[in-house]
Amino acid sequence: MASQYPQQMPVLHSRLGDWELDHVHEWSKRELIIRAPERPLVGPTTKVATIGSCFASELGAMLGDVGIVGGMHPGGLFYSTTTIRQELERIGGGWQERAAEPLWPVGDGLVDPFRSYDDIHPDEAALLESRGAADAAADALFRDAKVVVATLGLIETWRNAATGNTYRQIPHPAAIKGVAPEFHRLTVAEMLEDLERIRTIVRDRLGAELVVTTSPVPLHSTFTALDVRVANIESKSRIRAAVSEFVDRHPDVHYFHSYEMVVTAERQSDYYRDDGRHVHRHAVRYIVSEFLRLFGTPEVQLAEVDSSWLTPITKTAAVPTKEPKPKPASVSPRPVRPAAPKPTTGQRIVRGLRRRARAILTRSGS
């Protein structure tokens, strides 16, 4: 095994004193490179199979670009732990429940509930033949893979309460009324159960190493009443919590921090394309270079990886600088009325005459 976490900062300093600890890493000491143990699992002849969300597709394609054998599951995207578990169980000889799932009539043909909705087959025989060919291609990729990378994307699922099967995405618009699927958000406990079963298949049946990642790609939409940003945070938080507990349980499972690279960046928008969700190709290359730094042998490292597009980390104060107290808003003084002008001699004589006249009238009236 290569070097573990850097041997530095074993002491935590504070105004109360110092603690000598096995591991300390302060937020103010973070760097562009995220600390993680190096485990060289992937060499020039190591077959790597990826399965999961759209980020698994990006990772699989980029691994192919650098000459690593393997690739992404040929059947497309699997967003949740449950759909990944179902497919890996099928590859390992299980998931008999799939056969109980009715095929969906769409237009003039049939659609496979667990594959691309764009593929409409004229009849059941044609659909099952196509399904068999797709299964064979996936089996060929995974059954002799030495490393399986599973990228987890979301917790929002649609499932058939009668068969117990979970669909890869919301059912086809032409089929959803007839299917009457149940919408369900996976819990941490449910994902942990899925991950345990995934590990059993990958480790015991396929004999491969398991690497788990969390996709940094936000939700396209949510089927809850929540704002999509709130739903996305809940989704990623549950996934990350499940993965954290899972990796803690099993030292033979490896975690790759693609999610943390993006969401803890000094400026997240450095990574994202103009839709604010998908990751730039140069950013994918940078992330894959980190994957290979941690899990690749020296022969499969990416050379000349550009990181100049990343905003440098600058907010590294140990404690925040005290902000000056805002000055109280200035109060305008009340306007001063101008002094009345002094009466002239003539005005004083007129006022005196008026007073005398009022006094005479008052006496005569009494």
Separation of alpha carbons 58 and 149, rounded Å: 12
Residue 9 has pLDDT above 70, yes or no: no
Average pLDDT, the chain: 90
With contact defined as beta carbons under 8 Å apart, do 72 and 61 qualify?
Answer: yes
pLDDT tens per residue across span 87-124:
999 999 999 999 999 999 999 999 999 999 999 999 99
The CATH code of domain 43-300 reads 3.40.50.1110
Residue 80 has pLDDT above 90, yes or no: yes
With contact defined as beta carbons under 8 Å apart, do 110 and 178 qualify?
Answer: no
Q: Which of these ranges, 13-17, 43-47, 78-82, 296-300, has the smallest mean pLDDT?
A: 13-17
pLDDT of 15: 84
Separation of alpha carbons 47 and 67, rounded Å: 10
Residue 159 has pLDDT above 70, yes or no: yes
With contact defined as beta carbons under 8 Å apart, do 166 and 159 qualify?
Answer: yes
Q: What does the buried/exposed string (b/e) look like for 109-144 if buried means 16 or more CB atoms within 10 Å of the residue's CB? A: bbbbbbbebebbbeeeeebeeebeebbeebeebbee
Separation of alpha carbons 81 and 245, rounded Å: 14
Q: Which residue has the higher pLDDT, 172 or 342?
A: 172
Residue 362 has pLDDT above 90, yes or no: no
pLDDT tens per residue across span 277-296:
988 989 999 999 999 999 99
Q: pTM of the prediction?
A: 0.84
Torsions phi, psi for 364 (to 5 deg): -65, -30
Residue 4 has pLDDT above 60, yes or no: no
Give domain limits for the chain. 43-300
- Percent helix, percent strand, percent coil in the chain, to nearest 5: 40, 15, 45
pLDDT of 3: 44
Q: Where are the alpha helices (DSSP H) in the chain?
A: 54-65, 81-91, 124-142, 176-179, 188-199, 228-249, 258-263, 281-295, 345-365
pLDDT of 304: 85
Q: Which of these ranges, 36-40, 174-178, 322-326, has the smallest mean pLDDT?
A: 322-326
Give the confidence band of 77 by pLDDT, cuts at 50, 70, 90. very high
- Residue % of the chain over a pLDDT of 70: 94
- Residue % of the chain over a pLDDT of 90: 67
pLDDT tens per residue across span 330-351:
666 677 677 667 777 777 777 7
